Amino acid sequence: MEKIRLQKFLASSGIASRRKCEELILNGEILVNGKVVTILGTKIDPDVDEVIYNRRKVSINEEKIYILLNKPIGYVTTAKEQFGRDKVLDLIKINKRIVPVGRLDMYTSGALILTNDGEFVNILTHPKHEIEKTYNVTIKGIISNQDVIHLSKGVKIDDGYLTKPAKVKILKIDEKNRISRIQITIHEGKNRQIRKMCDAIGKKVLALHRSKIGNINVKDLQLGEWRYLNETEVKSLIKQKN
């Protein structure tokens, strides 16, 4: 086999996204033929060189797996959990190593994709590809049209970071209980971004559910259920670049 960059090999093996694999290399967590490699751009021959990560030999996955999960509240999306909390990987009983694509916080439910295809992870998580994510948000208080305009144009979070334009619409307003339901579509992936956006307009999030990734939704999946993505769905996510 032709020599390829180490980070690409690791990503193709389903270890993580290419960016995360680069971090593993820089952190000295990858061994090639028994020696620690920390130089990005190092090339290897998968048919000849032995690559070790986490004390296990790494090999390229022949079969690519793509799974859509309707994540319940109370599950974390980390592959390793040191505090004994339930993990999304506990819900998917297959004999293949897969990783979550991006993250949903413990108290957010909804669409989450898991795969062993590192290049696919990179496409869905890299900002330049701008994959849309749609959230249904229940907030405390009555949202105004001005709030919607503000969220749509961008609000400041995280020490002044201005969010990119979003699609926002009101789904329902409960005047009696002073609760509003809105839908927000973004193509960024900042940590807890939807919650912070709502905080920026003075509204507390009571419930948060990611209903869609790209054009793929979880309306036919009960919480905790999962299914394989078909080839058409996978291609649609790869092609969705604004």
Which residues are annotated as catalytic?
105
One-letter amino acid at 72 equals P
CA-to-CA dists, residue 33 to 3, 24, 61, 114, 135, angstroms: 15, 16, 20, 30, 46
Beta strands in the chain (DSSP E): 4-5, 30-32, 35-36, 43-44, 51-53, 56-57, 66-71, 99-100, 109-115, 133-140, 156-157, 161-162, 167-174, 179-186, 205-213, 216-217, 226-228
